[in-house]
Amino acid sequence: MLVLDISDIRRPVQKQEIGMKSPYGMALIGRSLFVGEGKNGLKIFDATNSTSLSLLKWDTKVEAYDVIQHPTRKDLVLIAGPKGLGQYQIDNNNTLSLLGWIAY
């Protein structure tokens, strides 16, 4: 995954390269960047400094292909996996708690 500074969209500047096996969807929620890595889990980065991310957590139990911020609540995230869509609550330590599941 490449972190780019696009303050001048005509001249993007690469600030960081983060090795990942299979990055898919992502969402910036507050100061945390959630990145789904499919079968490789979900990674959560500290994005306080948007051009220098640092890994906070790597949850290999969540198979995440897309990550969607809840439209009205910053403490909820929707995660799409191969078998359904999960709604998770996020605590102050970026720990996820499954609230509900829709299978498909």
Identify the structural domains of the chain with CATH numbers, from first to last.
Answer: 14-103 (2.40.10.500)
| Predicted structure pTM score | 0.89
CB crowding 12-48: b at 16 or more within 10 Å, else e: eeeeeeeeeeeebbbbebeebbbbbbbebbbbbbebe
pLDDT (average), residues 48-65: 93
Q: State pLDDT tens for residues 57-94.
A: 999 999 999 999 999 998 999 999 999 999 999 998 88
User: What integer pLDDT is reported at residue 74 of this predicted model?
Assistant: 87
For the cut 90, the answer to whether the pLDDT of residue 104 exceeds it is: no
Matching residue, tokens 């990055």: 23
For the cut 90, the answer to whether the pLDDT of residue 50 exceeds it is: no
H or E element, residue 44: strand 42-46
The residues, any chain, with a CB within 8 Å of residue 94's CB and separated by 6 or more, are 32, 44, 56, 57
